[in-house]
Amino acid sequence: MSISYTWGIANLDRETATGKVNTVHYTISATDGTYNSSAYGSVGLNGDIAIPYGDLTEEICIGWVQNALAANLPTEDADGNPITMDARRTDAINRVESALAVQITEQAAPTQATGKPW
């Protein structure tokens, strides 16, 4: 079963005076062609954003989201070795996509059910 994932931007919150984006609302959807799953989240942005609001693209904003998710992961492994931002970003993406894959797997072959026997 091959699952495809699509990251998207639902909306941006910004300061009107400066155009500085302070919150990115994102979506991610997954499908195997039969079953679908999706998630929605928001990340706050800290620091200076050097890109004018009118020049932003969805790809840039998705990168911000993925970097923000990665920033919450450990910066060192169990042995104290540093973990690069690229590795943390890949891990963050994999965690989100894996959670959606679990939901699709459950839809395809349910392990729980509700109902009444009568």
Mean pLDDT in residue range 87-96:
95
Mean pLDDT in residue range 75-98:
95
Query: Does residue 1 surpass a pLDDT of 70?
Result: no
Mean pLDDT in residue range 84-93:
94
Query: Does residue 18 surpass a pLDDT of 90?
Result: no
Position 113 in a domain: no
SS3 per-residue string spanning the chain: CCCEEEEEEEEEEECCCCCCEEEEEEEEEEECCCCEEEEEEEEECCCCCCCCHHHCCHHHHHHHHHHHHHHCCCCECCCCCECCHHHHHHHHHHHHHHHHHHHHHHHHCCCCCCCCCC
Position 115 in a domain: no
Position 68 in a domain: yes
Number of domains the chain is built from = 1
Position 80 in a domain: yes
Average pLDDT over the chain, rounded to whole? 94
Position 118 in a domain: no
99-111 tens-digit pLDDT = 999 999 999 999 9
Q: Which of 9, 86, 73 is nearest to 43 (CA)?
A: 9
Determine the structural domain holding residue 45 and report its residue range: 4-108
pLDDT (0 to 100) of residue 47? 74
